[in-house]
Amino acid sequence: MSNEAPVLFEELPATSGKLGRITLNVPATLNSLTLEMVDLLQGALDAWRADDNIAAIFIDAAGDRAFCAGGDVQALYRSALATPGGPCAYAETFFAREYRMNYTLHTYPKPLICWGHGIVMGGGLGVMAGCGHRVVTEKTRIAMPEVTIGLFPDVGGSWFLNHMPGEVGLFLALTGASINAVDAIYTGIADRFIAAEHKDEVLDSLLHQPWEGRPQPDRARVRQVLRQCAELSGAQRPDAQVEPHLGFVNRLCDGADIHQVIDNIVSLAADDPWLVKAGEGLAHGSPLAALWIHRQLVRTRHASLREVFQAELVLATNIVRHPEFSEGVRALLIDKDRRPSWQYRSSREVPAAVLDAFFEAPWERNPLADL
């Protein structure tokens, strides 16, 4: 396949069987996902699942800056502007196919190893979180800053944020706070810290495994490979940000209602740069988005993975049909004036009926009903 393709696929001969390799290949856009890339990923995953020669799959990205900075938000923006208030063909198709691909990752029968180096945000985090073996490095920087553009942490965020310790998931979702590799492991969205310099070592070791074509022993082999490389990387681990602040984060999110939680975070007085930046993220974000972020996490707290993706598609579809999303993207990524004109000045101004409408299915049958 041409190196100009947005996603590269290789079948690498191993000691037994083959190792499939998927490389996101648009470094100029920080490997942001397009509908074409999502379809290519889905096609390869489906084909390799049925191929007995493929023992495991390694997913990485071109360039040193990012694994994947998210979905191609500007394409979603153009789709939303094309039919304001109505169905947005490209955006809605993108979300449906992206979530289906994410669900495929979460439920894949063969070992999936994700090399989450550099920026991992939005759709990139959806890919990484769905893999069974998730590696982070000294340069990993993870965030889901959707509150700043009038969206919400989707791609399974409703699942993995709800499984984080204490109120960390809610805090990260509301603030878009950035976390590092150590934080990712603590919060459960990554498994191993391995210094970037050991990547070739990991790949070489995977190619020399006696794969059996059986999930349990093959996953054990992957864990052994990653464990050995992780043991060489301890000195380069960054300092934790989330765990030392867990008690404080829990107190901030302990309010009588979501409005008080927002007040607590926005008005927090702290000298810690990580906390200050988190508070600023929520303060500049959409008050309406903060409410639907909280509502979505509450509604899916006990949902199955299948139900999570179906619920996310309802919310995402309604959001792209609403002007809040277009305005957020305009201010942050198009005009870059960073002065969004949000629909409401505070969360308390949002009418209950307006918020409720975002959770009503806009079609008779959910496009992900067959998951």
Hey, what domains does the chain have and what are their CATH numbers? 7-357 (3.90.226.10)
Give 177-208 pLDDT, tens digit per residue: 999 999 999 999 999 999 999 999 999 999 99
| H or E segment and range at residue 68 | strand 66-68
Give 227-276 pLDDT, tens digit per residue: 999 998 878 899 999 999 999 999 999 999 999 999 999 998 888 999 99
CA distance 179 to 241: 7
CA distance 202 to 267: 45
4 confidence band (pLDDT: 50, 70, 90):
confident
Give 129-167 pLDDT, tens digit per residue: 999 999 999 999 999 999 999 999 999 999 999 999 999
Instruction: Decide: helix, strand or coil at residue 9.
Output: strand
CA distance 172 to 153: 9
- pLDDT value at residue 225: 97
pLDDT > 70 fraction of the chain, expressed in percent and rounded: 99
Q: Provide the 8-state DSSP code for 322.
A: S
321 confidence band (pLDDT: 50, 70, 90):
very high
Give 210-233 pLDDT, tens digit per residue: 999 999 999 999 999 999 999 988
Q: Which residues pair with 116 in a beta bridge?
A: 136
Q: Provide the 8-state DSSP code for 264.
A: H
CA distance 369 to 371: 6
Taken in order 141, 291, 152, 320, is the CA torsion positive or negative?
Answer: negative
Question: What's the distance, CA 174 to chain centroid?
Answer: 14
Closest CA to 151 of 39, 70, 259: 70
For residue 17, pLDDT over 80 is answered with yes
Helices 305-320 and 89-106 meet at what angle, rounded to 10? 160
Distances (CA, A) of 212 to 33, 297, 368: 33, 39, 33
Size of the chain in residues: 371
Helices (H), 150-285: 157-160, 168-175, 181-187, 199-207, 215-230, 246-252, 258-266, 273-284
> CB of 187 within 8 A of CB of 171?
no
